[in-house]
Amino acid sequence: MATYFLRRLLLIIPTFLGSTILVFTILQLAPGGPLERTIQQLQSGGMGEMAVEGGGGSGSITGGSILPESAMKELKRFYGFDKPIWQRYLAWLGVWPRGIKHRDFSFDSEEYQIEKRVGKRSGQIWRVDIHRDGEDFTVYEKDGTISEVWEAKLEEKNEDGSIDGVIFQTEFSGVLTGNLGKSYTFAKPVTEIMKPRFRISLFFGLIGYFLTYAICIPLGIRKALNHGSPFDFISSVIIFIAYSIPGWALGGVFLVLLGGGSFWDIFPLGGFHAPTEIWEQMTLWEKIVNQAHHAVLPIISWFITSFATLTVLMKNSLLENLSQDYIRTAFAKGIAEKRVVWVHAFRNSIIPIASGIGHIIAIVITGSYLIERVFNIDGFGRMGFQAILDRDYPVTMGFLVIVVLIRLLGNIISDFALATVDPRIRFK
Partner 1 sequence: MAENQQNLNNEISVSIYKKRWMKFKSMKRGYYSFIIIVSLYLLSFFFPVLINSKAIVVSYNNELYFPAVLDIIPGVSSYYPGERFGQNIPGEADYRKLNKAWQEENSDNWLLMPLYQSDPYEDITSENNKMYESPSANHWLGTDNTGRDVFARLCYAFNISISFALLLTVINYIIGISIGGAMGYFGGKFDLILQRIIEVWANLPMLFVIIILSSILRPSFTLLVAIYTLINWIFLTYYMRAEFYREKAKDYVAASISMGQSNRTIIFRHILPNSLVPVITYFPFSIVAGIAALVSLDFLGFGLPPPTPSWGQMLEIGLQDINKWWMVFSPITAQFMTLLLIVFVGEAIREAFDPKVYSRLR
Using CB under 8 A as the criterion, which residues of the chain lie in contact with partner 1 when the complex forms? 14-15, 18-19, 22-23, 26-27, 30-32, 227, 240-241, 243-246, 248-249, 252-253, 255-256, 259-263, 269, 319-320, 322-323, 327-328, 331, 337, 366, 369-370, 373-374, 384-385, 388-389, 396, 399-400, 403-404, 407-408, 411
Tallying the residues shown for the chain, one arrives at 428
Nearest to partner 1 of 67, 249 (CB atom)? 249
Cβ 262 to partner 1 shortest distance, Å: 5
Tell me the backbone φ, ψ of residue 98, rounded to 5 degrees.
-105, 130
CB of 65 to partner 1, least distance (A): 23
In angstroms, the CA 66 to CA 57 distance is 12
Contact 266, 389 (CB under 8 A): no
Distance separating alpha carbons of residues 166 and 249, to the nearest angstrom? 55
- Taking the least distance from each CB to partner 1, the nearer of 75 and 370 is 370
Q: Which is nearer to partner 1, 210 or 263 (CB)?
A: 263
Q: How far apart are CA 360 and CA 31, in angstroms?
A: 35
Q: How far is the CB of 273 from partner 1 (least distance, A)?
A: 20
* Min separation Cβ 408 and partner 1, Å: 6
Cβ proximity to partner 1: between 320 and 422 the closer is 320
Q: How far is the CB of 383 from partner 1 (least distance, A)?
A: 11
Q: Using the minimum distance from each CB to partner 1, give the nearer residue, 22 or 51.
A: 22
Note the helical H segments in 153-283: 190-225, 230-244, 247-258, 276-280
**How does DSSP assign 71-139, residue by residue?**
HHHHHHHHHTTTS-HHHHHHHHHTSS-EEEEEEEEEE-TT--EEEEEEEEETTEEEEEEEEEETTEEEE
User: Nearer Cβ to partner 1, position 115 or 337?
Assistant: 337
| Sign of the alpha-carbon dihedral angle for 18, 19, 22, 28 | negative
* Phi, psi dihedrals of residue 382, rounded to the nearest 5°: -65, -35
Q: Which CB sits closer to partner 1, 128 or 312?
A: 312
Count CB atoms within 10 A of the CB of residue 112: 11
Q: Min. distance of Cβ 419 from partner 1 in angstroms?
A: 20
Least gap, CB of 241 to partner 1 (angstroms): 7
> Helices 34-52 and 69-79, interaxial angle, to 10°?
150
